[in-house]
Amino acid sequence: MKQLRALAILVAVVAILLLVCAGPGTRLGLWHFRTGFTLLRWGAYLGIAGVILALIALVATRPRGGGLVALLVALALAGAAFVLPWRMAQQARRVPPIHDITTDTQNPPEFVAVLPLRADAPNPATYGGDSVAALQRQGYPDIRPLQLDVPPAEAFRRARAAAEAMDWEIVSADTAAGRLEATATTPWFGFKDDVVLRIRPEGTGSRVDVRSVSRVGRSDVGTNAKRIREFLSRLAAA
C-alpha cells in the first residue's frame, strides 16, 4: 500500500512539473511552442491518473498524519495539472478559431513598422477578409471603435500612455499619421502578438481603431480580443 501512495505522489509531482515547465520553457526558447502544448496535454493526462491514484490510496490505505497530508497535496497538485489545461481547451472551443482581431473589419489598420519583425512569422500580417470578419462578429460582437471627445493629438497621447501601461513594446509612434505599432508578449508562453492603433479625427473628437494579431497559432484562445478590450477600457477611463 505504501507503493501505491508513493506512485500517486510521484505521478502528481510529474504532472504539475509538466504544467509548470510548459510555458516558461517555450518562452525561454528551450523548445517549440507545440512541444509546450504537448507537455500541457501530457500533464493533464498524468493529472487525471494522479487524481485516480490518490483517491484509491486514500480509500485503500486510510492514511493518517503525514501520509494523509502527502496524499491530499498530491490530489491537489494532480487536480491542478488537469484542470488548468482543461479550462484552456474549453476556452479555445468557446471562441472562434482566429488570431486577427480588429475594431474595423471593413478597413482594418495596417502594419508598417512591425512588418520586418514578422518576416519569419507563420501568420501573415495581411487581413483574412470577410471570412475572418464574419467569425469575429459572431464571437466578439462587442469589439468596436472607440470615440473620444478630444482632438487626435490628445487621443494619441492617451493611447500611447495606455499602451505603455500595458507593457507593450512600442515599435513606432507616428503622431502625424495617427498610427502606433507595438508588440505585446503573453506572460506565460511568451507569444509575440503585434498591435497597431489608428487614430483619426471624427466630428469634434477622435476615433480610435485597434488591431491585434498573433504571430503563431491558428487560434489565439481569445487573447487578442481580451487585449483590445482592456486597452479600450483603459483609454476610455483615461
Where do we find the cell 500580417? 125
| Residues whose CB falls within 8 Å of the CB of residue 59, separated by 6 or more in sequence, listed in order | none
- For position 1, what pLDDT does the model report? 65
List b or e across 131-140, with b for residues whose CB sees 16 or more CB atoms inside 10 angstroms: ebbebbeebb
Instruction: Tell me what pLDDT residue 126 has.
Output: 96
Per-residue confidence (pLDDT) for residue 106, from 0 to 100: 96
pLDDT of residue 238: 82
**Which are the contacts of 146, defined by CB distance < 8 A and separation ≥ 6?**
103, 207, 208, 232, 235, 236
For residue 62, count CB atoms less than 10 angstroms from its CB and return exposed for 0-12, middle for 13-18, buried for 19 or more.
exposed
Residues of the chain with confidence (pLDDT) below 70: 1
Give tens-digit pLDDT for 38-85: 999 999 999 999 999 999 998 887 777 777 899 999 999 999 999 999
Q: Which of 63, 39, 36, 49 is nearest to 10 (CA)?
A: 49
Q: What is the pLDDT of residue 178?
A: 96
pLDDT tens-digit map of 20-43: 999 999 999 999 999 999 999 999
CA 213 to chain centre: 11
**Which pLDDT value is given to residue 62?**
78
